Amino acid sequence: MKEITYGKAICEAIAYEIRRDKSVFVLGEDVSIGVFGVTKDLFKEFGSSRVMDTPITETAIIGAAVGAAATGLRPIAEIMFMDFMGIAMDEIVNQAAKMRYMFGGKITLPLVIRCAAGAGIQAAGQHSQSLEAWFTHVPGLKVVYPSTPKDAIGLYLSAIRDDNPVIVVENKSLYAVNGEVEDEFKPIPLGHAEVKREGDDVTIFATGACVSKAMMAANELEKENINCEIIDPRTLFPFDKETLFKSIEKTNKVILATEENKRGAFSAEVSALIAEEAFDYLDAPIVRIGAINTPVPFSKVLEEYYLPSVEDIKKAVKSVM
């Protein structure tokens, strides 16, 4: 066991795959340095033949990754901020996601798209969004969202080895957060949720940075004799509904906490799934915690108001008790 940051874990996982498979390479804007420094050590070890700085050209980054994946490589394309995914949306949605299907299954596209999501660092409206629902909505994309260094390693190993387009959402507020990782790297299969904390009273379903917020809320609520179970799906699609439903069957209450603004969020899809398929387990209405339905504001005061908080989660839990 060792302790490393979430950012370092991502870097080590990618390095591990670059070493083991010569078809794996990284391309993106300033990846030799990295705006969050995640890929800097990759460039030091592998150089420009495997870690390619591109111009500021999101459309070509993803389009070229699609072309490279279709002709035998395993590109890891970085979109610096998730907010910039819109610039490459045709390449992601109309090309990468549909190519295999439209071609009758006769092509494989082993492609990873990395992106930094989330607010909390005063990066304002165009550098802070959580847009995972855009991608879970589109058939043909897998969407992964690690919340800890350990998960980042295991999920990256699986994402890179997957023969389909996989979007990995990284929460930028987690890059510097430490966590324990195993000495031996092992893939975590996509579509397997993890029970991050066991409890009998309320299920808190949380993704990304909300997992640690849920953990803090749960630790505080324990002092009031409320035991929360925390479920982290780790992969948004394919989605492990069984683990979630099993937990709700036990607790009969569920809070969904994600950093997205609530309208049309991924949490809305999860809520609908519970209502359609696990309604009988519920003793209380589903409660969703998310950001307010505005662009992400700049000012610290406004941004704090915008984001879901530990307090919000605690309040939600108490509301269903």
Partner 1 sequence: MKISSEKLISIYENMVRIRAFEEKVGELFAKGKLAGFVHCYVGEEAVAVGVCQNLDDKDYITSTHRGHGHLIAKGGITKYMMAELYGKATGYCKGKGGSMHIADASKGILGANGIVGAGFPIATGAGLSFKYQKTDQVAVCFFGDGASNRGTFHESLNLASIWDLPVVYVCENNMYGEFTPQSRHQKINNISDRAASYGITGVSVDGNDIFAVYEAASLAIDKARKDGGPTLLECKTYRYRGHFEGDPQEYRTKEEIEDWRRKDPIIKLKKHLLENKICDETKINELEENINKEILEAVEFAEESPNPKPEEALENVFTDIIEEARK
Number of residues in contact with partner 1, rule: CB under 8 A?
A: 40
Told to check if 47 binds partner 1 by CB under 8 A, we report no
Query: Which of the following is catalytic: 127, 196, 197, 314?
Result: 127
Residues 6+ apart with CB under 8 A from 189: 158
Work out how close the CB of 71 gets to partner 1 at its nearest, in angstroms, rounded to a whole number.
4
Distances (CA, A) of 191 to 127, 144, 146: 28, 9, 12
* Shortest reach from residue 254's CB to partner 1, in Å: 22
Q: Name the nearest CA neighbour of 239 among 252, 214, 262, 256.
A: 256
Look up residue 279 and give its DSSP letter.
G
User: Using CA atoms, how far apart are residues 87 and 101, in angstroms rounded to an integer?
Assistant: 23
Answer whether 64's CB lies under 8 Å from 71's CB: no
Question: How far apart are CB 267 and partner 1 at their closest, in Å?
Answer: 20
Q: Least distance (Å) from partner 1 to the CB of residue 69?
A: 7
Among 20, 103, 198, 249, the residue binding partner 1 under the rule CB under 8 A is: 103
Our finding on whether 139 is near partner 1 (CB under 8 A) is: yes
Whether 192 is catalytic is no
Does 90 bind partner 1 (CB under 8 A)? Our answer is: yes
Taking CB under 8 A as the binding criterion, the range among 98-106, 149-157, 208-216, 228-236 that sits at the site for partner 1 is 98-106
Rounded distance between C-alpha atoms, residue 62 and residue 54, angstroms: 11
Among 5, 39, 95, 251, binds partner 1 (CB under 8 A): 95
Instruction: Pick the binder of partner 1 from 128, 148, 164, 271 (CB under 8 A).
Output: 164
Residues facing 228 on adjacent strands: 202
Q: Where does residue 242 rank: exposed (0-12), middle (13-18), buried (19+ CB within 10 A)?
A: exposed
CA distances from 91 to 28, 58, 64, 175 (A): 15, 9, 9, 27
Q: Can residue 69 be called a binding residue for partner 1 (CB under 8 A)?
A: yes
- Binding of residue 225 to partner 1 (CB under 8 A): no
Residues whose CB falls within 8 Å of the CB of residue 302, separated by 6 or more in sequence, listed in order: none
Does the protein bind partner 1 through residue 196 (CB under 8 A)? no
Please pick, from the candidates 8, 114, 127, 142, the single residue that binds partner 1 as defined by CB under 8 A: 142
Q: Does 279 bind partner 1 (CB under 8 A)?
A: no
The correct pick among 44, 45, 47, 59 for binding partner 1 (CB under 8 A) is: 59
Pairing mode of beta strands 178-181, 2-5: antiparallel
- With CB under 8 A as the contact rule, the residue among 10, 26, 38, 68 that binds partner 1 is 68
Instruction: State the amino acid at position 97 in one-letter form.
Output: A
Residues that bind partner 1 (CB under 8 A): 25, 49, 54-55, 57, 59-60, 62-73, 75, 90-91, 94-95, 99-108, 139-140, 142, 163-164, 238
Residues with a known catalytic role: 127
